[in-house]
């Protein structure tokens, strides 16, 4: 393998490449001793490959976890909407009472997110 070929390998494929090289070189461990290569070198290389694999895969794992959590939040928001929809139907029994008026007032959305209108008014004032 040349240095140019090595540099063209994608980051995600490097661990497989390194592991295959180690597996091919391990049977030659005994003759390599005279060149200063010992069994601990193979173990150290395998450990470093594992650390590298963990570092490369960590962002992917975080993205997957975040995606799963976002899906969970969406699910619970939908479930909450269904609960409020059923509660609104049940509250119709109390129409015309103080209890119902307080419930409706509590259900009103306070911050409707009308920021664009406010920004336009601020720009006009300037």
The string of pLDDT tens digits covering residues 72-101 is 998 999 999 999 999 999 999 999 999 999
pTM over 0.85: no
Per-domain residue ranges of the chain: 8-109
Backbone phi, psi, residue 111, to 5°: -100, 100
Q: What is the pLDDT of residue 31?
A: 83
User: Both tokens of residue 83?
Assistant: 């609960």
Q: Residues 17, 5: contact at Cβ < 8 Å?
A: no
pLDDT bucket at 102, cuts 50 / 70 / 90: very high
Output the pLDDT for position 100: 92
């Amino acid at each position: 393998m040349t240095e140019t070929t090595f540099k063209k390998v994608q980051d995600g494929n490097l661990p497989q490449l390194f592991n295959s090289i180690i597996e091919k070189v391990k049977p030659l461990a005994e003759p390599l001793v005279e060149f200063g290569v010992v069994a601990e070198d193979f173990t150290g290389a395998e450990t470093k490959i594992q650390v590298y694999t963990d570092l490369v895969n960590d962002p992917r794992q975080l993205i997957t976890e975040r995606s799963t959590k976002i899906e969970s939040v969406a699910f619970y928001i939908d479930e909450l909407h269904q609960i409020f929809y059923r509660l609104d139907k049940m509250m119709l029994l109390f129409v015309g009472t103080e209890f119902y008026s307080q419930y409706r007032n509590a259900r009103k959305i306070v911050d409707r997110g009308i920021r664009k209108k406010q920004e336009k008014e601020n720009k006009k004032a300037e």
